Amino acid sequence: MEPKKNVKADVGRNSSIYFSVGLALMLLLTNLAINYKTYDKSDIDIGMINMDDELEEEIPITEQLQQPPPPPPPPPVAPEEIEIVEDEKEVEETVIESSETNQEEEIAKVEDVVVVEAPEEDIEVPFAVIENVPVFPGCEKEAGNNAKKQCMSDKIAQFVNKKFNVDLASELGLSGRQRINVIFKIDKSGNITNIQARAPHPGLEKEAQRVIALLPKMLPGKQRGKAVTVPYSLPILFQVQD
C-alpha cells in the first residue's frame, strides 16, 4: 500500500531550522521592544528663530551744543604813577672802629671783682630718712641714729606732757578723748620754726603751739655732712576728766 503523503512534502525534517529562525526573530523583537524610547514633541521642539522679529534699536540723534566763546580777559590795570621824591635827609653812616690794639696803647687795669655768694638753699629732709637726726639735749650719748631718734621722741613726749595744760579742755567745755596734730620744723641752726597745729578747738591749737615753742634748741640734723631742716610731726592725745 502506497503512502498518501508525499515524502518531499514532509516539513518535520526542517522543524529545527524553523525553530531556530523563529527564536532569533523573537529575541530580536524583544530587544527592540525593550530599547524602544519615545519623546514628547514639546521636549524636542527647539523652535525656529525668526531673525525678522528682532527689535531694531533706534539710536537718538544728538546734537552737539555749541558753547558760547569765553568772555575776553579784562584789560590790564594801568600801573599807578610813581612819584619820585627827592631824598633831602642825609643818612649818617655808622663807622665801625677796629677793636685791635697796638703795642703803644696802654692797657687799663681791671679792678678787683667782688664775688657775691648765692644764699644756700634751705633743704628739707624727712625725719624718717635723714642720715643724722637732730639731737635733743640729753641724747648726745646715744649710739646710732635709731637710738637718737627714739631718745628724741621720748624727750619731746615727756616735755609736752609736763608743759601742756590738760585742764584747758574742760574749761573750753570739751569732753572725751582729744587729739591734736602738731607739725613743726627744726631748722639747720637747731631752732624750732613753722609750728602748725590742728585740734577740735582753736584754744587747744594755741596751747599746743605755745608748748612746742618752748622746746629747747637742738643740734641740727645733717644730710651728707651739711646741716639741713628737718620737719617733725607730733600727735598729742589726752583724755578729758569729767
Class of domain 145-240: alpha beta
| Phi, psi dihedral angles at 175 (to 5 degrees) | -145, 165
Structural contact between residues 168 and 241, judged by C-beta atoms closer than 8 angstroms: no
State the Cα–Cα distance between residues 22 and 29, nearest whole angstrom.
Answer: 11
Lowest mean pLDDT among 4-8, 65-69, 188-192: 4-8
Q: How many CA atoms lie within 13 A of 125 on its CB side?
A: 17
| Higher-pLDDT residue of 87, 181 | 181
Cα–Cα distance, 74 to 68 (Å, whole number): 17
Given this model, what pLDDT does residue 101 score?
A: 65
Residue that wins the pLDDT comparison between 112 and 133: 133
Of the pLDDT bands very low, low, confident and very high (cuts 50, 70, 90), residue 14 is confident
**More reliable by pLDDT, 118 or 29:** 29
| Per-residue DSSP letter, 68 | P
Cβ atoms within 10 Å of 197's Cβ, excluding its own: 21
Q: What is the pLDDT of residue 32?
A: 86
The pLDDT of residue 68? 75
Answer yes or no: is pLDDT of 8 > 70.
no
Per-residue pLDDT tens for 196-240? 999 888 988 999 999 999 999 999 988 888 999 999 998 888 787
pLDDT at residue 113, rounded to an integer:
55
pLDDT for the residue numbered 93:
61
Strand partners of residue 239? 177
Residues 6+ apart with CB under 8 A from 157: none
Strand, helix or coil at 34?
A: helix
Distance CA 87, CA 154 (A): 91
Mean pLDDT for all residues in the chain: 77
d(CA 107, CA 13): 171
Share of the chain above pLDDT 70, in %: 63
Please, how many CA atoms are within 13 Å of residue 154, restricted to the half-sphere of its CB?
9
Give phi and psi for 183, each to the nearest 5. Answer: -130, 130
Domain ranges of the chain: 145-240
pLDDT over 80 (residue 54): no
Total Cβ atoms within 10 A of residue 220: 20
- List the 230-240 sheet strands across, edge first: 192-198, 176-186, 230-240
Q: Pick 46 or 233 by higher pLDDT.
A: 233
Query: E strands within the chain?
Result: 176-186, 192-198, 221-223, 226-228, 230-240
> pLDDT digits over 98-122, tens only?
666 666 666 656 565 566 665 566 7
Alpha carbon distance, N-terminus to C-terminus of the chain:
179
Give the closest residue to 132 by CA, choosing from 219, 198, 3, 13: 219
Q: Which of 161, 187, 171 is nearest to 241 (CA)?
A: 171
| Stronger pLDDT, 199 or 68, i.e. the higher one | 199
Cell output for 167:
585742764
Rounded distance between C-alpha atoms, residue 136 and residue 225, angstroms: 18
What pLDDT, on a 0 to 100 scale, did the predictor assign at position 144?
A: 84
More confident call, 9 vs 152:
152
Question: Which pLDDT value is given to residue 196?
Answer: 92
